[in-house]
Structure 1
Amino acid sequence: MSNNTTIHSNKLFLASRIALIFTAMTFAFRASLEGPWGSEFHLDEVQIGWIFSPAFWGFTLAMVFGGPLCDVLGMKRLLGLAFVGHIAGVVVYLTAKDATMLFIGTLCIGIGNGMVEAACNPLVVTLYPNNKTTMLNRFHVWFPGGIVIGGLIAYLMMNKLHLGWHALIAVLFIPAIIYGLLFLRLDFPKTERVTSGVSTKAMFLACLTPLFLIMLASMFLTAATELGTNQWLPGLLQGAGVEGILVLVFINGVMALGRSFAGPVVHRLNPNGMLICSAILAAIGLILLSRASGYAAFGAALVFAMGVCFFWPTMLGFVSEYLPKTGALGLSLMGGAGMFSTALILPVMGGWYKNFKAAAVASGAGSSADAIAGSNTFMKVAIMPAILIVVFALIYVVRRKTYVAHKQQAQAV
């Protein structure tokens, strides 16, 4: 690879990371908007949930439909659609007069966020064909990193400077304009699937193979373990004697740091091995969180963060490395499954917590009802990574046997 090509690839990679930071900041800002929007627009919790819902299913739809379109329209056009969705969403938010406009704004941003993932995941794979899993981890550093950035900005602007929510939303123009201008000036390569000569029909057929379908189902559990827990963390820790938001920022900081140094781990374990270790640590971390109180929660959170740290990018890396014919469609289906899973698990986890708390109150737990409910919910969530340990271990055994059989066959020939 020439020096000019390397510089061009690095510029595309930088723009991709800034686009992902925008995506993550919208997730972080949402936590600070519930109160102000509820007061200003006279909305209850159900209406707020209705307004926020397109952030998940809009994201999912954009990824699922964006995957097949990635090769047809090209990654640059998809990112152009992402930019339009992001700018339109911010403008609609700033001019909103009612709940319907807030819903439309969230839908625009959700679709934009999905288009970013639909285009940038195959872009990273195409830019770094010999280092896919490592570079996908480095790219996805900026989801937890962006949540930390967005969370701190929201805290400073809303809690310390006491600025209105309009000022907070307006901040989103900055990363949007930066990544939009960068992408506009850069040329994009064709996707890896196109350059390797794999047909569209072969791509769709590859997405129906048993291994891909197993990984797609596993993505529901890995995403629910990571994003579902993180979204509910402040609520689940409210009876544990610690500020849940600080534990959440700590977890995302650890995740960003871990993904930054994913290379040596990938080299040592390979994607399958990383997923087994991740599932083990995630399960242990959730069990520890169920028992932790006070500052001990940070120790439990460290173990959990080390577990979920590599889940999302390594699931994508596994598919791109071991099932390359699935192309941009495979990556989009995986990402869409992960985000759709999060939309499904959030109300389920809320139901678990509500039922556990009601049972604790009924048994006379009193002030410790929140702590008991949080503890039991963490244990319930721990079932998901426990299942994944078995699934990923079986995949490893089968792939190992297949590899040995092929090697023996080659030696015989």
Structure 2
Amino acid sequence: MNPQRLFVASCIALLATAMSFAIRGDIMGELELAFGLDKVQLGWISGAAFWGFGLSILFGGTLCDLLGMGRLLKLAAVGHIAGVLLTVFATDFTMLFAATVVIGIANGFVEAGINPLIATLYRQDKTARLVKLHAWFPGGIVVGGVLAFAFTQLGLGWQAKMLLMLVPSAVYAAMFFAQRFPDSERKAAGVSTAAMYGELKRPLFLVVFACMWLTAATELGPGQWVSNIFNEVMHSTLQAGVLLLVWINGIMYALRQFGGGLAHRLSPVTLIAVTAPIAALGLWLFGRADTPVLAFAAAALLAVGTAFWWPTMLGLTSERFPRGGALALAVVGAAGAFSTAVAGPVMGWINNTYGAANVLPLWAVLPVAIALIFGIVHWVDRARGGYRIERVDA
């Protein structure tokens, strides 16, 4: 077993996952025209990957112990390749939706496999390592976004952009091949299945589960729409909205890659509580931006506010509920995926009803709620002696 190779391969698998989101965000306008979609159908397509994502994360948590992390991640590579090809050859809305769900299932298997893998390989440094791993989600958005923009300038269509995903998918499949994978932390410690499910009933876990719906909708929901909104509001003839997506995710990549230690210095709970107001401000200001400079400034605030959320929520889950193992991580990850799937059509409805400029300001209510909830959890922790990491062997 080579932990460093497994870590790098996990990063590339997450890169492939992120590229699927970036490329789909870029080609939404092209798909709208090519398939004759209205805004609500476009929202369903933007959320389709998240339905497959959520279901496969949820079932992947159980499959992780049943099949092993290695088999799960190899299945993910097959799904990525098959989903891309199905998308390229889609002929109508139904086939396009189904192909996007297949890619979502592959994305979910990646998420279900790499999170417990990294938590097991780096038991003494879970949150910081998960933050560093998940730097490659915004990193993949940057890579996919820049390549998609370049392809647009070269006059290449949405099919060529989708085929870009085949490269990282083949690379991570090759890197995982013939590697020995460890048992999950929960399985290695001999924690029973009953004890694993018991973790999901704890009050704090239910709070974390509920909050993942809010954090994911705030972090990932706007990512599917900012390009479209920018192009419409700014009347961008270059279709430069994808560069805004690159800007947001470039900031997030840098913060996750080099700022993972903040979660330990502040505690995961405190980190989310203090960054949520920044995200709310960014969303509100984006809707008021009437120049590209103001739009990019507001987007930077959104990036700073949400940068640590997804991996920190997973780190919080792994540190406070280690007996929940891969299942606890899967349930929380699935909540985030389902939340983002619902966010797609809801934001599409807001767009249809109130206009593109009002979508993100209305969305700002979510991080306000996040700040309040995590502020309360912080004070409860403080009253009990502070944030405490639980050990599976305790």
Matched with 1:276 is 273
> For the structure 1 residues 326 and 352, does the alpha-carbon distance in structure 2 shift closer, same or farther, using more than 3 Å as the test?
same
The one of 349, 361, 379 equivalent to 1:379 is: 361
Is the deviation greater in 39-48 or in 243-252?
39-48
Cα contact 1:240–1:292 (8 A) shared by 2: no
> For the structure 1 residues 245 and 40, does the alpha-carbon distance in structure 2 shift closer, same or farther, using more than 3 Å as the test?
closer
Is residue 2:242 matched to residue 1:260? no
User: Mapping of 1:7-406 within 5 angstroms?
Assistant: 8-38=2-32, 40=34, 49=43, 51-157=45-151, 159-237=152-230, 238-239=232-233, 244-294=241-291, 295-357=293-355, 374=357, 376-403=358-385
How many Å apart are 1:396 and its aligned residue? 1.1
How many Å apart are 1:24 and its aligned residue? 0.9
How many Å apart are 1:197 and its aligned residue? 2.1
Cα contact 1:241–1:293 (8 A) shared by 2: no
Alpha-carbon distance in 1 for matches of 2:121, 2:336: 24
Corresponding letter in the other structure for 2:306: V
Alpha-carbon distance in 1 for matches of 2:296, 2:105: 34
Q: Mind listing any 5+ residue stretches in structure 1 that lack a counterpart?
A: 358-369, 407-413
Which one has a bigger Cα radius of gyration? 1
> For the structure 1 residues 161 and 126, does the alpha-carbon distance in structure 2 shift closer, same or farther, using more than 3 Å as the test?
same
Q: Mind listing any 5+ residue stretches in structure 2 that lack a counterpart?
A: 389-394
> For the structure 1 residues 46 and 268, does the alpha-carbon distance in structure 2 shift closer, same or farther, using more than 3 Å as the test?
closer
Corresponding letter in the other structure for 1:345: A
Alpha-carbon distance in 2 for matches of 1:405, 1:267: 10
Where 1:19 maps in the other structure, the secondary structure is helix
Matched with 1:361 is none
How many Å apart are 1:45 and its aligned residue? 5.1
How many Å apart are 1:99 and its aligned residue? 4.3
Matched with 1:410 is none
Cα contact 1:271–1:318 (8 A) shared by 2: yes
How many Å apart are 1:103 and its aligned residue? 3.2
Corresponding letter in the other structure for 2:284: I
> For the structure 1 residues 263 and 89, does the alpha-carbon distance in structure 2 shift closer, same or farther, using more than 3 Å as the test?
closer
Where 1:403 maps in the other structure, the secondary structure is coil
- Aligned-residue Cα RMSD (Å) equals 2.3
Alpha-carbon distance in 2 for matches of 1:226, 1:315: 12
Is the deviation greater in 287-296 or in 387-396?
287-296
Deviations 1:258-286 (A, max 9, x none): 00012331232121111112212212222
Is the deviation greater in 188-197 or in 159-168?
159-168
Corresponding letter in the other structure for 1:263: G
Alpha-carbon distance in 1 for matches of 2:285, 2:27: 31
> For the structure 1 residues 402 and 292, does the alpha-carbon distance in structure 2 shift closer, same or farther, using more than 3 Å as the test?
same
Alpha-carbon distance in 2 for matches of 1:267, 1:293: 39
> For the structure 1 residues 32 and 386, does the alpha-carbon distance in structure 2 shift closer, same or farther, using more than 3 Å as the test?
closer
Where 1:263 maps in the other structure, the secondary structure is coil
Alpha-carbon distance in 1 for matches of 2:284, 2:265: 27
Is the deviation greater in 104-113 or in 215-224?
104-113
Where 2:225 maps in the other structure, the secondary structure is helix
- Structure number with the bigger relative contact order (C-alpha 8 A, sep ≥ 6) is 2
Matched with 2:391 is none
Corresponding letter in the other structure for 1:82: A
Cα contact 2:26–2:227 (8 A) shared by 1: no
How many Å apart are 1:100 and its aligned residue? 4.1
Alpha-carbon distance in 1 for matches of 2:25, 2:168: 19
Alpha-carbon distance in 1 for matches of 2:51, 2:300: 30
Cα contact 1:27–1:147 (8 A) shared by 2: yes
Where 2:149 maps in the other structure, the secondary structure is helix
Q: How many residues align?
A: 383
Alpha-carbon distance in 2 for matches of 1:292, 1:44: 26
Is the deviation greater in 234-243 or in 97-106?
234-243
